[in-house]
Structure 1
Amino acid sequence: MNRKLLVTGGAGFIGANFVNYWVKQYPEDIVVVIDALTYAGNLANLELVKDHVGFEFIHGNICDTKLVETLLRDKQINTIVHFAAESHVDRSITGPDAFIETNILGTYSLLKAARKIWITEPNDAGKASIPHRFHHVSTDEVYGTLEASDPAFHENTPYAPNSPYSASKAASDHLVRAYHHTYGLNVTTSNCSNNYGPYHFPEKLIPLIITNILNEKQLPIYGDGKQIRDWLYVEDHARGIELVLNKGINGENYNIGGHNEWKNVDIVNLICSLMNNEFSENPALAKKYPNAVSARNGKAENLIKYVMDRAGHDRRYAIDASKSFTVLNYKPEKTFEEGIRNTITWYLENDSWWKKLI
């Protein structure tokens, strides 16, 4: 049976990469995207699939429960893949209200609609519940922070969120679990490590460093720069979600990570080095990016500036994806070197996309 997917937040970074991947892998499936097109949502992220016969975009908000109910009913949706979320920690510190509304109330809205259309209405009509899946995309940040010697987060690590963002995601995870155990909704949840790749919004670390180098701007590093993150190429994340949808057990959580820990300062220095090489090997870049004086001179690292650490900055995240490796046969296909080079190349070639956003 072909799937009919509703992808929430499908015009955002991870959501759009998932949609582009899914349409390529499953061209016979129906894929409906709902996105409010806030600052991080961008229809240009979906250019590759906009003319696909099974694709449809809906400009709407997941907090509009009636709209979600209508889409589930009229489009005969049997699978929800829920990406829609406010996700930038800095923004959650200065303006947490949007995170509570979208991440908690938005998820609640989706769960209510799914339960009504897939379970309650059929049962009231004397029919069996509609075969369905609600897949919730979450983050490793719900687990809190790790010391350097601590073992990586696993699926049974107690939740200990430290920012309004991670707290709102933790709450949404708990709601999804509750709707499974209380109402019988068929759900899976995945918690991923830091993603990077094409279409990444420019305020995030990796694209920020790339675009700032090209604009000869400072490269800000919080505190001592030794915060550690586990990095995952975004298409490998999409592949992980595919495996959860195809092989995942109802009610289970799966960590999706790259087993690829890097200090922030080392990431920045690596990007500087690779950008220096790009300008050295491709003289045409100097003409295309005339402001990138430091990279042209092989000294992009001169733009590094240490700045005051942000409030509640978690020291280390690391994902133990052993369960996904073993149960789902999941394995990232991109090495970090391949992924970061692909990402740099994409930003160098797609300046018309990111210049509009900064």
Structure 2
Amino acid sequence: MRRAEEEVAEVTARHAAILDRLREGDGKAENSLLNEIHLSFNRDSEKGDLKRRRCDDIEEELEVDEIVPDSSFSDLFGPLKEEVLEVCGQLRALVDHIRQQEKNSLTSLETLSSSSSTSSHSFTHFKVGMLMELVKELRGLILALLRGRGVRSDSLSLEAEVHHLREALEALQIDLQAKLHDIQRQESLVRSLQQQLEICRVKEEGLQEQIQVLQSDLEDTHLSKDQLIRKAWDVRDQAVARKNKAEIELAKARIESLQVNSQLLEAVQQKVELSQQLEQWQVDMQSLLDEQLKEKLRSQELARRKPSTPSVESNQSQGGSTRTARFLRLLRRRSRDDS
């Protein structure tokens, strides 16, 4: 009986410790509690045979007590049996509540003790191994619950890590854009520097030419005074010759420009005269055509009034030929004047 009391006290203490740790534990506490449950499960499995033997001994003692009743022993066994049955009922209520909690997806663990204390489960018969089965079932449910919490905590940690990675990626993208802008600015600066370098090269070439001229002048300074004077005269003569040549070319150009201007004026005057002659010729042609038309109309009118005679017709033909000859002479004169 003392062994049974010790086992019941041990199970009750474990039950209370597990509830306290479940109330207080966070992720690390759950992991340590899970490890401890595994260790205790291994120890319990190692001690299973010993407990079964103890349970067999208890059962034999119970059978002996039923055969040989004792008043003092029955007084001690009655409350112990009630306590064992109450513990079994509480364990069964706890198991049912955890299963219901898994079905309803509840996360509160503070209601476990109250629900187990106010549970309506009761046992009237006690078998050997019943308490161990309840403890194993409770241990399995607690392990499953802790694993689920571990998975949820892992998923939350993964989500947090993904969020941090996204923030880091956005920061890297911003940095990349800034670096690209910097690169573009540096490229524009390099292009401007290259242009300045080209300008400097051109200036350098000009300076080199000036240096060469100065070097030649420096070499000339070593000559004698007469040679320098002679060279200066030569330079002056060359300059004067170039000046005279330029003045002559300028005078020729002026003369040519004057000739061109006079030719242009003559051409303009000829054009004006030709336009006037053309207008006069058009007027003459118009007057000639008007005269011919009038004569034709007059001849037609006369032909209507009088019968035509051969003499009249010959006169008319001679008048037409004279008019035609006159018109041709006028055209030839105009053409000679134009030429």
TM-score with structure 2 setting the length:
0.20
Q: With CA pairs under 8 Å and 6+ residues apart, which has the higher RCO, 1 or 2?
A: 1
Larger Rg: 2
Structure with greater proportional strand content: 1
TM-score with structure 1 setting the length:
0.19
